[in-house]
Amino acid sequence: MALAGGYAGTIRNLAVDASTKCIVQGLGKSSTFHSKLALGMGTSIVGGVGPGKGGQSYLERPVFNTVREAVHHLRPTATAVFVPPLAACGAILEAIEAEVPLIVSVAEGVPLKDQMTIMAALHSQSKSRLVGANSPGMANPRGCRLGISPPVTMAPGPVGIASRSGTLSYEAASSCKHIGQSYVLGLGGDFYPGTRTAEALSFFMDDPTTEALILVGEVGGTMEEEAAELLLRDKRYRDAEGCTRKPVVGFIAGRNVPPGKIFGHAGACWRDGLGSADQKRQAWTEAGIRVVDTIAETGAAIEEEMKKRGLFSHTSLG
């Protein structure tokens, strides 16, 4: 990885597949519904965690009162956190303290002070990586789904997708389903997501199963500019001709959002001093990303870019 120390060193924890042992925190109706879908996709769910529910079963798997107990008995490497927003901070901190390598939280509406508490905890350690919160989660179509992303939009393949918006991640996945995806990462719409666009970019550039990338950004914050800077700064991500080492297609949502207006969720708010959607598009273009005008164009665009490099023949068109 481009950065190896501290929290940055946990970017590699985003690598999951059918062998990844997962637990579920929060055992309500929603988590049960989505866990059944995940099992149908091949996800290895080995147990659940619910305070006061230890000794019970969840989808015929053991339940423990705490994450630490589950880690002791099951040795999971990932947890899907289906806990309401006001309790999400405690659940995520519990997973960090238990050193679960990958934590995925879907809760929308985690208080800002809790987000800051989570960020402080994440950046004080080097064992756990968070995706979310306010996220649809992540999936490897080859057999691991953590969160709520719809399996119907996915197929195994070589395109890595990272999106701040959950809905747009589904649309991007659907647009390239005929090519297939290596991973679909829903980074989340909060002000302080556990994994940022540049970190997802770094992961995909180093991931051997990813041949091409689709990045989906939006107004608000600086995540898109960080990704552009990484592409321009890190020579490992460029080829001898100066192009991105792997083809990258991007889409920026919110071109018509006026300053000060929240677009969709908390983190998508264009403020004075932060780049507009058009400025973000320009930054990506200058970094070598092919930027399209609509999310529906991302699949066709990445197919064209892959064909230019002779990559499309390696995909399955099922």
Please check whether residue 45 is in contact with residue 23, taking contact to mean a CB–CB distance below 8 angstroms. yes
Q: What is the DSSP string of 138-189?
A: EEETTTEEEES--GGG--EEEEEEEESSHHHHHHHHHHTTTT-EEEEEE--S
**Any idea what the Cα angle at residue 162 is, between residues 107 and 235, rounded to 5°?**
135
- For residue 269, give the DSSP letter: B
CA distances from 287 to 3, 208, 249 (A): 19, 22, 11
Query: Which residue, among 20, 101, 102, 98, has the nearest Cα to 64 in the 3D structure?
Result: 98
Following CA atoms 140, 164, 35, 117 in sequence, which dihedral angle do they give, to the nearest 10 degrees?
A: 120
Residues linked to residue 160 through DSSP beta bridges, in sequence order: 183, 213
Helix (H) or strand (E) holding 26: none
Please check whether residue 85 is in contact with residue 111, taking contact to mean a CB–CB distance below 8 angstroms. yes
Backbone dihedral angles phi then psi of residue 95, each to the nearest 5 degrees = -70, -35
Catalytic residue ranges: 265
Beta strands 144-147 and 137-140, pairing class:
antiparallel
For the record, the structure tokens of 163 come out as 């999106």
Mapped onto helix, strand or coil, the DSSP state of residue 200 is helix
**Any idea what the Cα angle at residue 238 is, between residues 234 and 204, rounded to 5°?**
75
